[in-house]
Amino acid sequence: MLATATVTVDLTKIEENARRVTGALPGVGVVGVTKVTCGSPEVARAMLGGGVFALGESRLENASRLREAGISAPIWLIRAPTPALADDTVALTDVSLESELDTVEALDSAAGRAGRRHSIIAMVDLGDLREGMMPADLPAFIDRVSALRNIDILGIGASLTCYGAIVPDARNLGLLARLAADAGRSVGRPLLVSGGSSTSIMPLASGSVTAAVDNLRVGEAIVLGVDPTTRERILGLHTDAVVVSAPIIEAGDKPSAPIGTRAQDAFGSVPRFEDRGVRRRAICALGRQDAPAEGLRPRDPRIEILGASSDHLVLDVDDLDEPLRVGDAVEFLPGYSATLGVFTSYYIRKVFVGGK
């Protein structure tokens, strides 16, 4: 019997996914992004074992966790810090993704105080409208940063799909490669072309995009085995490296539609219900405080998620041959949002299996 909700990570499958991704992208250096697992050192080591050359984190707390675990691989900070965090950024990470000159100047001062250098990827906005300067602003940015004493411009990068859902293609990645080539001529050496994240894998691996991209920052494909543009499996990757298990705390027959006058639910929505008569239901000890219900998929397709409150996940289990009982575990394959939630949740037990 399961006592509490648990997320189980198969590190062997994570490593195999990393190996397949890096193997499918010859000439492209892959930064393994561990942010969805809150900087899990176990996942980081599996990614490194699979061939990524560096780790990507969006929060310095996670970078600190990796360093405290003894991981010495390069760490890229993939969300720009505030200037007030410049000293911590220089101390904990090797590379950061930057688009604001004020922040880079603060990093330059921090690196000088620490007696070390810090590298940046200059981020440009190719249409997804998250972070990045507009392309026309890049030359002036490069000129200003080149004059700083303790900052190295490592490459030019972009973020695609994560906010505006813009897919990588020959047009936007081609523009990125041209911007990097121009910037490289300005600084007198070739620069990396950091062409996005998991959504750029298939355009590059399939050859549909031939732009000179030589760096990707990959998390979801390695952890969950899918292309974020379609949420479909790619490259024969494992899609069950992460499994969420939740114990049943109530099971029984109930009407399928609520009884009485309806108002808003706990989250301000007015839910709709289909009256299917009396059905067998189960409640799991897992709620929206842990993960969004819509980001979970029952491993058994006969189980249907009906909804969730803060701490309860309500299931229809009427189609199962054998009734589930209190204490039984129900397994779910989490999508990106649910994976982010269960790793962030203080209440979810984390278990790692396999690996070296």
Mean pLDDT for 64-89 is 98
141 and 178 inside one domain = yes
Q: What pLDDT was estimated at residue 265?
A: 80
Q: How far is CA 176 from CA 99, 153, 228, in A?
A: 15, 15, 21
pLDDT at 103 over 90: yes
Q: How far apart are CA 118 and CA 75, in angstroms?
A: 11
Torsions phi, psi for 167 (to 5 deg): -85, 150
Residues 205 and 344 in one domain: no
pLDDT in tens, 245-291: 999 999 999 999 898 888 888 788 888 888 899 999 999 999 999 99
Q: Are residues 205 and 309 in the same domain?
A: no
Q: Same domain, yes or no, for 35 and 172?
A: yes
Q: Do residue 213 and residue 85 come from a single domain? A: yes
Any domain includes 302: yes
Structural tokens at position 238? 């494992």
Indicate the residue among 192, 224, 256 that finishes a domain: 224
Of residues 35, 254, 350, 356, which has the active-site annotation?
35
Q: Which residues of 141-158 are buried (b: 16+ CB within 10 A; e: fewer)?
A: bbeebeebebbebbbbbb
Domain that holds residue 66: 11-224
Domain boundary residue, one of 195, 224, 253: 224
Report whether pLDDT(356) > 80: no
| Whether residues 148 and 191 fall in one domain | yes
Of the candidates 311, 280, 290, the one whose C-alpha atom is nearest the C-alpha of residue 244 is 290
Task: Judge whether residue 54 has pLDDT over 90.
Answer: yes
Q: How confident is the model over 155-172, as a mean pLDDT?
A: 96
- 198-254 confidence digits (pLDDT tens): 999 999 999 999 889 999 999 999 999 999 999 999 999 999 999 999 999 999 999
The pairing of beta strand 329-334 with beta strand 242-255? antiparallel
Cα 111 to Cα 92: distance, rounded to the nearest angstrom? 11
How far, in Å, CA of 297 to CA of 279, rounded?
Answer: 20
Residue 2 resides in a domain: no
Per-residue model confidence (pLDDT) at position 355: 84
Asked if 179 and 262 sit in the same domain, the reply is no
pLDDT, mean over the chain: 96
Tokens of 275: 């009256």
- The domain boundary, picked from 224, 253, 277, lies at 224
Q: Do residue 130 and residue 265 come from a single domain?
A: no
Q: Is 254 annotated in the active site? A: no
Q: What is the CATH number of the domain that holds 269?
A: 2.40.37.10
Q: Count of domains in the chain?
A: 2
Distance, CA of 235 to CA of 21 (rounded, Å): 7
Handedness of CA 225, 230, 235, 236 (dihedral sign): positive
- 205, 258: one domain: no
